[in-house]
């Protein structure tokens, strides 16, 4: 009986390990994690202006924390899942990276760069999320994007996660 119990326990452990790895590199699961981490900080809102690279954009906050230039949440996503992660702020018809672990070819954070005008951009302009293969600063990723809406339902930004293909 003891051997059967050990075998069952080992089988259960292997099954759970397999399920955990099934979620590894799953952009839908990871963007839900990013969005939950940000929501835990507080409600999203815009307040004032801040620099993003060479561009001045709206400052996006979750609760009391300004996200522009703050990399703790996106870096934690990278550490815990291996995914790239970004928070964009809406700037007119564009979405500008204000917090990211995505690096430029020069090895710097891609802060101040804009979301490319492609399928994800088209979906977001309609207020919809998008998951699929995208090009991020010259590299292909399996990615998901979600709109960030303030308390009145206005889209003020976008979250992104991606896994390099």
Model confidence, pTM: 0.84
Q: Write down the pLDDT at residue 120.
A: 96
Q: How far apart (Å, rounded) are the C-alpha atoms in residues 106 and 121?
A: 24
pLDDT digits over 11-31, tens only? 333 333 333 433 468 999 999
Q: How far is CA 55 from CA 102, 131, 146, in A?
A: 18, 27, 23
For the cut 50, the answer to whether the pLDDT of residue 161 exceeds it is yes
Q: How far is CA 28 from CA 34, 45, 114, 118, in A?
A: 10, 24, 22, 19
138 versus 146: the higher-pLDDT residue is: 146
Q: Write down the pLDDT at residue 21.
A: 39
Q: Write down the pLDDT at residue 139.
A: 83
Helix 72-81 to helix 27-41 angle (10° resolution) is 150
Q: Write down the pLDDT at residue 24.
A: 60
Q: Are 140 and 84 in contact (CB under 8 A)?
A: no
**Which residue ranges form the domains of the chain, and what is each CATH number?**
25-164 (3.30.450)
22 versus 123: the higher-pLDDT residue is: 123
Q: What does the block give as tokens for 3?
A: 């051997």
Strands 130-136 and 139-149: antiparallel
Q: How many other β-carbons are positioned within 10 Å of the β-carbon of residue 89? A: 23
21 versus 94: the higher-pLDDT residue is: 94
Short-list 96, 138, 94, 108, CA closest to 86: 96
Q: Write down the pLDDT at residue 20.
A: 40
């Amino acid at each position: 009986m003891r051997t059967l119990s050990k075998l069952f326990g080992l089988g259960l452990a292997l099954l759970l390990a397999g399920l955990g790895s099934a979620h590894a590199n799953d952009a839908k699961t990871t963007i839900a994690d990013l969005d939950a981490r940000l929501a835990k900080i507080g409600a999203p809102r815009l307040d004032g202006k801040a620099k993003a690279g060479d561009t001045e954009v709206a400052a996006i906050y979750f609760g009391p924390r300004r996200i522009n230039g703050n990399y703790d949440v996106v870096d934690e996503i990278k550490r815990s899942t291996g995914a790239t992660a970004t928070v964009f702020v809406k700037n007119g018809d564009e979405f500008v990276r204000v917090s990211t672990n995505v690096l430029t070819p020069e090895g710097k954070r891609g802060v101040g760069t804009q979301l490319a005008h492609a399928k994800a951009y088209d979906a977001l302009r309609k207020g919809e999320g998008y998951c699929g293969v995208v090009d991020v600063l010259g590299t292909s990723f399996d990615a998901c994007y979600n709109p960030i809406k303030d308390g009145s339902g206005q889209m003020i930004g976008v979250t992104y996660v991606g896994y390099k293909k």
